[in-house]
Structure 1
């Protein structure tokens, strides 16, 4: 882009658009996650985590929950999280108890919305493409 070809008014307009885009990317949006009914930790605890790529490996930053509410027998619980998400964040969550498989879900954030990803490999590829 050759900025010398722009008028002063066009340059000011471009600056304002760039500032608005930067602000939009920095603004977070709060979102609420919760377990389905009473969660039984057969494959591990319920959690919500932000994924990072360190080298070629996935790292997780786990969000603290709002607390657990234990169900009748004390082996299962309800849990919820309020987290702030930002553009291009990748989120992993285990909120549902699977009977035979670990039921985790992956998302990326686009325009303040959670967009589902198919699996951890797709989440990893998304993070690689951000670099």
Structure 2
């Protein structure tokens, strides 16, 4: 996906396109994750759609849930969803920031020291 260190640095326009593509993938994964969370809260706790959205969005964003959970199924779902959300947050930040880190490292390694 990324260019080799022996190749020249990617032009700025292509670099921005790469970041945009990764951002679109991360947003799509966020929307899918949010939909799964909303459906889980709706199914297990019987919450209205707005409350299900609020709880799923708060957990997905790392803030914690709002409503007190009443069912065991809802509690298990919320725990699993919270674990998934933590992993999703780390993975999405890696996906979004990997082109930036690669560009920085590529820039440092693309210049040959004098005498080589």
TM-score normalised to structure 2 length: 0.32
TM-score normalised to structure 1 length: 0.29
Determine which structure has the larger helix proportion and give its number: 2
